[in-house]
Amino acid sequence: MDEKLKQAIRDLSSRLLSYAQTIIGCNGAKDEYYQLIACCQMLKTLLTMEEE
């Protein structure tokens, strides 16, 4: 995978994770946000595996 693309995906997944965690702290609709966090964490895991 192109290094710039990998970095962009990393940055995006980090931001999504941060936003989702912030929203959970302020909102009642938690199920959707927990799913969003799980997806972000899975994306980060896949990127980490790709780097090894």
Predicted model pTM = 0.51
pLDDT of residue 7: 85
pLDDT of residue 50: 67
Q: CB within 8 A of 44, min separation 6: which ones? A: 10, 13, 14, 17
Kindly tell me if the per-residue pLDDT of 1 is higher than 70: no
Domain boundaries, the chain: 12-51
- In our burial notation (b when 16+ CB lie closer than 10 A, e otherwise), range 32-42 reads ebeebbeebee
What tens digit of pLDDT does each residue of 5-46 get? 788 788 888 888 877 777 777 766 677 778 788 888 888 887
pLDDT of residue 37: 81
User: What's the CA dihedral at 36, 46, 51, 16 to 10 degrees?
Assistant: -10
pLDDT of residue 3: 87
